Amino acid sequence: MASLKDMRVRIAATKATQKITKAMQMVAASKLRRAQATAEAARPFAERMEKVLGNIASTVTDLESAPKLLGGTGRDQVHLLVVCTGERGLCGPFNSAIVRLARERATALMSEGKEVKIFCVGRKGHEQLRRNFEKQIIETVDLRGVRNLQFEHAEGIASKVIALFEQGGFDVATLFFSRFKSVIAQVPTALQIVPPVFEAKKEAAAGAEASYEYEPDELEILGELLPRNLAVQVFRALLENNASFYGAQMTAMDNATRNAGDMIRKQTITYNRTRQAMITKELIEIISGAEAL
Kindly report, residue by residue over 18-46, the tens digit of the pLDDT: 999 999 999 999 999 999 999 999 999 99
pTM: 0.88
Residue 91 annotated to the active site: yes
pLDDT(122) > 90: yes
Range of the domain at 228: 43-198+214-253
* Adjacency order of strands within the sheet including 78-84: 137-141, 115-121, 78-84, 172-182, 185-194
Residue at 206 is within a domain: no
Q: Which of 35, 56, 57, 91 is catalytic?
A: 91
207 pLDDT band, cuts 50/70/90, is: very low
Condensed to tens digits (0 to 9), the pLDDT of residues 62-112 reads 767 788 888 888 899 999 999 999 999 999 999 999 999 999 999 999 999
The H or E element that residue 108 is part of is helix 94-111
What's the rounded Cα separation, in Å, for the pair 71 and 157? 21
> Is 5 within the bounds of a domain?
no
**Is 30 among the domain residues?**
no
Count the alpha carbons within 13 Å of 147 in the hemisphere toward its beta carbon: 0
109 closest CA partner among 138, 136, 73, 147: 136
CATH number at residue 120: 3.40.1380.10
Nearest to 116 by CA among 102, 127, 126, 128: 102
- 249 within a domain of the structure (yes/no): yes
pLDDT of residue 220: 86
- What total number of domains does the chain contain? 1
- Give pLDDT, residue 200: 55
